Structure 1
Amino acid sequence: MARSALLNVMVQAVFKAGKSLARDFGEVQNLQVSLKGPADYVSQADRKAERIIREELMKARPTYGFLGEEGEEIKGTDGAHRWIVDPLDGTKEFINRRNDFTVNIALIEGNVPVAGIVYAPAQRCAYVADGGRAEKLLLDPAWALEHRQSIRVRMRGVELTAVASRSHNSSETEAFLNGHGVMNYASVGSSLKFCLLAEGKADVYPRFGRTMEWDTAAGDAVLKAAGGSVVRLDGSRLLYGKTVQEEDSAFANPHFIAWADMSSLHLSGAEGLQPAYALS
C-alpha cells in the first residue's frame, strides 16, 4: 500500500474517531473523567477514540507497530514503521468545552515522522502531511470535505509571533521569548500550536515542559512538510522511538523549539540557541 493510500487510511480513522469525540463533546458533562497524574486528565472519550483509530490502522497495516497514549505499545513485525497516536490531545480543553482539542496520528519511519494528521473536530478542520506536502482541510457541518488548501510556513520577519501552551507556561518559556525579541504571543492548547506555524500564522513554539512522543509526532510531521523544523536545544532534530532513556521514561521528549523558518538562525550546535536565554 503506497503512502498516499495510507494517508487516506489515516484520514478515515481520524475522522471516524472525531465523530465519536464530537458526540461526547456535546454530552461532556456525562463523561467519566479521571487523573493519570498531576493535571493529566483522561476520559472514556479518549479510550474510545484510541480504540477506533487502532482498529482502523492495524487493519490496514497489521505489521506496523502502534504506540497510543491510552494503551500499551504494540510491537510490530515491521521494525521500520510504527503508528503514534494521541486520540484526544487537550483533554483539559475538551472537558472544559474549549474547541482547541485535537486527534493526532503520525506514521514513523525509522525515527522520523513521515506522514501525519492533526484533526480539530470542534473547529471542523484538519492538517495533513505526506510526501513533503502539507494541506489544511475544511469540513462542512455534515463532516464532508468542503475545501482543501496547501499550507506553508512564513519567512522569518523582524517581529516574531510565538505560540505556547495555555496550561504549561514556564519561566524558561518567558526567558526564551524575551531573549529572542518575540513581540506577539498567543496561547493555544493541543498540537494546534504546530499547525499555526505550518500555515504561516506564527513563527516559533518553545516547549520547556514535559511532553511525550504522542503529543508531538503528528504536529511535527505537519510542520516539517510545510517547511518548518522541530529541534532540541542543541539544534539537532527531535527524534522518535526513544524507548530506553536514562534521564527519563520511554517515549518522553526533551525540551524542544519548533520553528517556522530556521534559515536565518545559522545554528551551529548548542551555540545557535542558548546564548539568548539562560536555563536554570
Structure 2
Amino acid sequence: MSESQLMTSEVARLSMLNALIPEVEKIAKDALDQRKMGLDVWKKSDGSIVTNVDLIVERAIRDVLSEIDPGGAVFGEEEGWSEHHPCDAAWVLDPIDGTRMFIEDRPGASISVGFWSSEGAIAGIVHDLTRGVTYACDAVSGTWLCPSPMPEPGRDIHGIWDLKRGAQHDVEEWILSGLDVGHEPDGCVLEMASVAHGAIAGYVFAAAGWAPFPWDLAAGAALLRTSGGTLLWTDAPEGVITLQDQSISTLDRYSTAGAGGSATLIALGPHFVDELLNQ
C-alpha cells in the first residue's frame, strides 16, 4: 500500500503541492526547450503516439516525487505502476496530455499530475504548455491554489460527440444544446481544468471505441471537485456515475467500457451544476 505523506494532514498536503508546482513548471520549460531541439516520435503498441519528451517528462516528475513524497505510489501513462504496484492511493501522471498537439506546436497540450485515493480525486496540478498557466488545487480542503478565479463564468461548451445515439439524460441534452461543434477542443485534461476554473461551462467526450484513461482524468477531476463542479460517466451500466468520488478501479472500468463501445464523459462547472439541479 502507498504511504504517501499527502494523506497525513492538510498542512502536509498544501506544503507538498506548493513545493511541486514550481517543479512541474520547470519540467514544462525543459520540455518546450527539448521540442525546439527536435522530437523523436513513434507509435506505441496500442497505436497511440508518443515522443521522447513524454518519457523525459514522466521520469522527471517521478524523480521529483521520490524526493517530495518518497513513500507515495506512482502510476504513469508511460512507465505504469511504481514498485508499490496497483493500490488505492497514488500519484497519477500524464506527462503530455495532447501529444499530437504538442508535436505540432498547437494549443491544447498539458502536463498533468493528480493524486487519487479510495475516496476519489484528492489533488491536481495541470500546466498548460502553450499558455503557461498552471491550475492547482487540494480537493480535500477545497483549496484552489492557482490561478485566480474567473470573475464571471463562461458559458461555452467544448468537446466531441461522435455517437449515433442522441441524448439519454437531462445533462446530455443540456451539453448537446450548447456544444460548440466548430471548436477544436484542447486535450481532455486541459478542458476539464478550464471547466473547473470557470472559463467554460462544460466539456463532453463521447466517441465510439475509445475513452480517456485514468491519467487523463485524475488531475482534472480533482480540480472539478475543488471548484464544486462534477465529472460524470453518463452511460455506465448502473446509470450516471460521479467519477471524482470513485476509486481508481472505477476509472479503469470506465476506460475499458469506452474501448469496447462508448463511455460518455461530461464535466460541468459549479455554476451549471447548480443550474441543472435547480431545473
Instruction: Verify same fold: TM over 0.5.
Output: yes
Any idea what the Cα deviations from partners look like across 1:170-205, whole Å, max 9, x if unmatched? Answer: 135985468742164533221211122122222121
Matches of 1:115 and 1:245 in 2, distance apart?
19
SS in 2 for 1:122: coil
Q: Give aligned-pair identity as a percent.
A: 23
Structure number having the greater helix percentage: 2
SS of residue in 1 equivalent to 2:248: coil
For 1:7 and 1:154, locate their aligned partners in 2 and report how far apart those are by CA, in whole Å.
26
Output the amino acid matched with 2:69: R
Select 1:102's aligned residue among 106, 110, 123.
110
Q: Per the alignment, do residues 152 and 4 of structure 1 end up closer, same or farther by CA in structure 2, a change over 3 Å counting? A: farther
In 1: Cα distance, 2:55 partner to 2:36 partner: 17
Once the 2 structures are TM-superposed, how far is the Cα of residue 134 of structure 1 from its aligned partner? 2.3
How far, CA to CA, are the matches of 2:128 and 2:87 in structure 1? 30
* CA distance in structure 2 between the aligned counterparts of 1:247 and 1:196, rounded to whole angstroms: 22
2:184 maps to 187
Alignment of 1:33-52 (within 5 A): 33-36=41-44, 40-52=48-60
Aligned equivalent of 2:197, options 179, 192, 199 = 199
In structure 2, do the counterparts of structure 1 residues 38 and 110 end up closer, same or farther at CA, with 3 Å as the change threshold?
closer
Change (3 A) 1:151 1:219: farther
The alpha-carbon distance between structure 1 residues 183 and 74, as it changes in their structure 2 partners (threshold 3 A), is: closer
CA gap of 1:127–1:77, structure 2 versus 1, over 3 A, is: same
Equivalent position of 2:264 in the other structure: 255
| TM-score normalised to structure 2 length | 0.76
Q: Deviations over 1:52-98 (max 9, x none)?
A: 00011122222211100000212539955310000111110011111
Per the alignment, residue 117 of structure 1 pairs with 125
The alignment of Structure 1 onto Structure 2 pairs a total of residues equal to 248
Does the CA contact (< 8 Å) of 2:149 and 2:198 recur in 1?
Answer: no
What corresponds to 1:5 in structure 2? Answer: 15
> Which aligned pairs between 1:98-177 and structure 2 lie closer than 5 A?
98-130=106-138, 131-137=141-147, 149-151=148-150, 154=153, 161-164=156-159, 169-171=161-163, 176=172
Check the 8 A contact 1:100/1:123 in 2, yes or no. no
SS of the residue 1:188 aligns to? coil
Distance in structure 1 (CA, Å) of the matches to 2:128 and 2:231: 21
Residues 1:235 and 2:240 aligned together = yes
Shift of 1:246: 7.4
RMSD of the alignment, in Å?
3.3
SS in 1 for 2:240: coil
Q: Is the 8 A contact 1:204 1:258 kept in 2?
A: yes
8 Å contact 2:39–2:53 — kept in the other structure? yes
Q: How far off is 1:9 after superposition?
A: 3.2
Q: How big is the shift at 1:36?
A: 1.7
Q: Conserved in 1, the CA contact under 8 Å of 2:44 and 2:50?
A: yes
Distance in 2 (CA, whole Å) between partners of 1:100 and 1:10 is 22
Task: Give, in angstroms, the shift of residue 108 of structure 1.
Answer: 1.4
1:16-54 Cα shifts (integer Å, max 9, x gaps): 320221102323xx2110112566210000000000000
Q: Which amino acid letter does the alignment assign opposite residue 178 of structure 2?
A: V
Q: Is the 8 A contact 2:254 2:263 kept in 1?
A: no
If the length of structure 1 is used for normalisation, what is the TM-score? Answer: 0.76
Report the 3-state secondary structure (helix = DSSP H, G, I; strand = E; otherwise coil) of the residue aligned with 2:242.
coil
**Structure 1: distance between partners of 2:255 and 2:276:** 29
Secondary structure at the counterpart of residue 232 of structure 2: strand
Report which stretch shifted further, 120-129 or 186-195.
Answer: 186-195
Gaps of at least 5 residues in structure 1 are: 138-148, 273-280
Looking at structure 1, the residues matched to 257 and 164 of structure 2 have their Cα atoms a distance apart, in angstroms, of: 24
Structure number having the greater strand percentage: 1
One-letter amino acid matched to 1:162: I
